Structure 1
Amino acid sequence: MATIATKNEVITVIIIFSVKPEQQQELIDAIAEFLETVKQQPGFISTNLHKSIDGLKVANYAQWQSQADYNNFINNTKVQAKAAKLREFNPPDVHIYEVVISESKEGIPKIKQGQYITHFAEFRMPPENQPRMIELAKENVGKAMELPGLISANFHRSLDGTRVINYGQWLDKESIENLKKQPGFGKDSEYWEGIAENEHHLYEVVLTVPND
């Protein structure tokens, strides 16, 4: 089971595909098939596959023991040949991340199938803006955590400086709508304005694959 913590001695790889709704399940099935090979690779810890409720995204939250293990997996041509089906879809957004903020009401956050609604907030920025984006996240996460329906908020920094992703866990959609009414989170007062562009979708966890 994947756990999220700032002191995790793992690397996180977040892979986000954009798809047409009619393609979403086909992509999920193709990823699930490839995962039978992936889970056998040295250094693999877990994969947690999410599908967006609107049908437009598929997100893979994966953990590896080290960046070297992940690089060996990526550079293994025999293994990657088994991912040919995935290359029929739009190229995904792939980055390596570290957890820099983790706030939770229920201990160390864990990713489980069928437990929470998940919120991937994808912040994109030039590398020089990433430190400020993280500062702003730290300043504003407390207000979000005051909402009763938000279970955890987990900000991840991409090592290349171009992304910050908030992986949030929620009890229900109503709580997410209430967040948008809070100062700094509505369209007219976004706390990241001028620092980053943001795209966000709601997801459900559809498959978790640990290392056997």
Structure 2
Amino acid sequence: MPIIRAGTGIVTQINVFTVAEGGQEALLDHLSQAARCCRAAVPGWLSASLHRSHDGTRVANYAQCRDLASWHAVMECLHREGFIDGNRRFGTASPGLYDVAATFER
């Protein structure tokens, strides 16, 4: 489950992929396999949330790790298992690392 609170030290990677029309489901399947792999193999992996855009052209991945060292371990796993190279078959990625700055709720 995602943890969205400031001051936790959790590292969040938000990656928005641009895909060709009709390409969302294939990328979502690929990212789901990658998440299952990391969930089993990397102790510091916390969560992944996958989102599809209404217009069918983007997929967003909101993934969290306990800390920066865990994020590096996740990236090593994804590279080793071929998931990063595999992403390129489905679309163009725009990743970034983030810390939660603030949250607002009702």
Bin of the TM-score, shorter chain as denominator length: 0.7 to 0.9
| CA deviation map 1:112-133 (0-9, x unaligned) | xxxxxxxxxxxxxxxxxxxxxx
Which protein has the bigger strand share? Answer: 1
Q: Secondary structure at the match of 1:34?
A: helix
Report the alpha carbon displacement of residue 4 of structure 1 after superposing the two structures with TM. 1.1
Q: TM-score, normalised by structure 2?
A: 0.85
CA distance in 1 between counterparts of 2:98 and 2:89 reads 26
- Higher RCO (CA 8 Å, separation ≥ 6 residues): 2
The 5-angstrom pairing of residues 21-170 of structure 1 reads 21-40=21-40, 41-76=42-77, 77-79=79-81, 81-105=82-106
Q: Secondary structure at the match of 1:49?
A: strand
Which of the pair has more CA radius of gyration? 1
CA distance in 1 between counterparts of 2:19 and 2:92 reads 10
Q: TM-score, normalised by structure 1?
A: 0.45
Report the alpha carbon displacement of residue 83 of structure 1 after superposing the two structures with TM. 4.5
Q: Secondary structure at the match of 1:21?
A: coil
Runs of at least 5 residues in structure 1 that lack an aligned partner in the other structure: 106-212
CA distance in 2 between counterparts of 1:54 and 1:82 reads 25
CA distance in 2 between counterparts of 1:12 and 1:37 reads 18
CA distance in 1 between counterparts of 2:64 and 2:12 reads 5
Report the alpha carbon displacement of residue 8 of structure 1 after superposing the two structures with TM. 2.5
Report the alpha carbon displacement of residue 75 of structure 1 after superposing the two structures with TM. 2.9
Q: Cα RMSD (Å) of the superposition?
A: 1.7
Identity in percent = 27
Runs of at least 5 residues in structure 2 that lack an aligned partner in the other structure: none
Post-superposition, which runs of at least 4 consecutive aligned residues in structure 1 deviate over 4 A? none
CA distance in 1 between counterparts of 2:3 and 2:38 reads 19
Q: Secondary structure at the match of 2:3?
A: coil
Q: Which residue of 1 aligns with 2:8?
A: 8
